[in-house]
Amino acid sequence: MANILVTGGAGYIGSHTRYFLEQRRHRVIVVDSLERGHRELVPDGILRQLDLRETEKLSRLLAEEQIEAVIHFAAYIAVGESTQVPEIYFVNNVGGSLSLFSAMLSAGVKRLVFSSTAAAYGIPAKVPITEDEPYAPINPYGESKVMTEKILEWLDRYREFRSIRLRYFNASGAEPDAGLGELHDPETHLIPLILRAILTDKPVTLFGDDYPTPDGTCIRDYIHVSDLAEAHIFAVEHLLEGGASDVFNAGTGSGHSVKEVVDAVERVTGKRVPRTIGPRREGDPPALVANSDKLQRSLGWKPTRADLDRIVSDAWKFATRVKH
Taking only the tens place, the pLDDT of each residue in 60-94 is 999 999 999 999 999 999 888 999 999 999 999 99
Q: For residue 217, is pLDDT > 90? A: yes
What are the two backbone dihedrals, phi and then psi, of residue 68, each rounded to the nearest 5 degrees? -105, -25
Q: What is the pLDDT of residue 106?
A: 98
Fold of 3-172+223-250: Rossmann fold (3.40.50)
pLDDT tens digits for range 147-204:
999 999 999 999 999 999 999 999 999 999 999 999 887 888 899 999 999 999 999 9
Residue span(s) of the chain under CATH 3.90.25.10 come to: 176-220+253-319
Tell me: cis bond preceding 137? Omega within 30 of 0 counts. Answer: no
Cα–Cα distance measured from residue 64 to residue 124, given in angstroms and rounded to the nearest whole number:
44
Decide if 158 is catalytic.
Answer: no
Contact (CB, 8 A) for 162 and 243:
yes
Q: Model-level pTM?
A: 0.95
Contact (CB, 8 A) for 105 and 70:
no
Contact (CB, 8 A) for 124 and 288:
yes
Q: What percent of the chain has pLDDT over 70?
A: 99
Report the SS3 class of residue 49.
coil
Mean pLDDT value of segment 43-49: 97
Q: What is the pLDDT of residue 199?
A: 95
The rounded radius of gyration (Å) of the Cα atoms in the chain is 19
Residue span(s) of the chain under CATH 3.40.50.720 come to: 3-172+223-250
Q: What is the pLDDT of residue 322?
A: 63
pLDDT tens digits for range 91-143:
999 999 999 999 999 999 999 999 999 999 998 888 999 999 999 999 999 99
Q: For residue 282, is pLDDT > 80? A: no
- 267: confidence class by pLDDT, cuts 50, 70, 90: very high
Q: What is the pLDDT of residue 324?
A: 46
pLDDT tens digits for range 292-311:
999 999 999 999 999 999 99
Fold of 176-220+253-319: UDP-galactose 4-epimerase; domain 1 (3.90.25)
Q: Give the active site residue among 19, 141, 168, 211.
A: 141
pLDDT tens digits for range 232-257:
999 999 999 999 999 999 999 999 99
H or E stretch covering 196: helix 190-200
